């Protein structure tokens, strides 16, 4: 994101991307959870604490869960919680396909 927005801080970078037209910008923050920025809100959700074996694919899993939740028309804070949970579950197994 930094290479696209020229911003280091995730919230600032998300705000720059928001100006390009999307209604929501989601940012994964690894073991710090995730962040979503809309025109009206900034929402941060903490990561679930799990016994991490491998983080390969966690961001992809988060993205897939996020899209699924948005398609279900769930509230954004629930979509984030769900996505963090699914990504955390992935991290408990080795490899990108577990």
Residues involved in catalysis: 60
What is the 3-state secondary structure of 47-94? CCCCCCCCCCCHHHHHHHHHHHHHHCCCCHHHHHHHHHHHHHHHHCCC
How many residues would you count in the chain? 98
Q: What does the alpha-carbon distance between residue 89 and residue 98 come to, in Å, rounded to a whole number?
A: 9
Token output for 30? 């690894």
């Amino acid at each position: 994101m930094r290479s696209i927005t020229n911003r280091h801080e995730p919230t600032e970078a998300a705000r720059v991307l928001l100006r390009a037209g999307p209604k929501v910008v989601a940012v994964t923050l690894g073991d710090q959870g995730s962040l979503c920025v809309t025109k009206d809100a900034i929402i941060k959700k903490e990561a679930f604490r799990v016994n991490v074996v491998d983080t390969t694919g966690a961001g992809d899993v988060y993205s897939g869960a996020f899209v699924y939740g948005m398609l279900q028309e769930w509230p954004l804070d629930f979509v984030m919680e769900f996505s963090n949970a699914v990504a955390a579950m992935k991290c408990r197994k080795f490899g990108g396909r577990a």
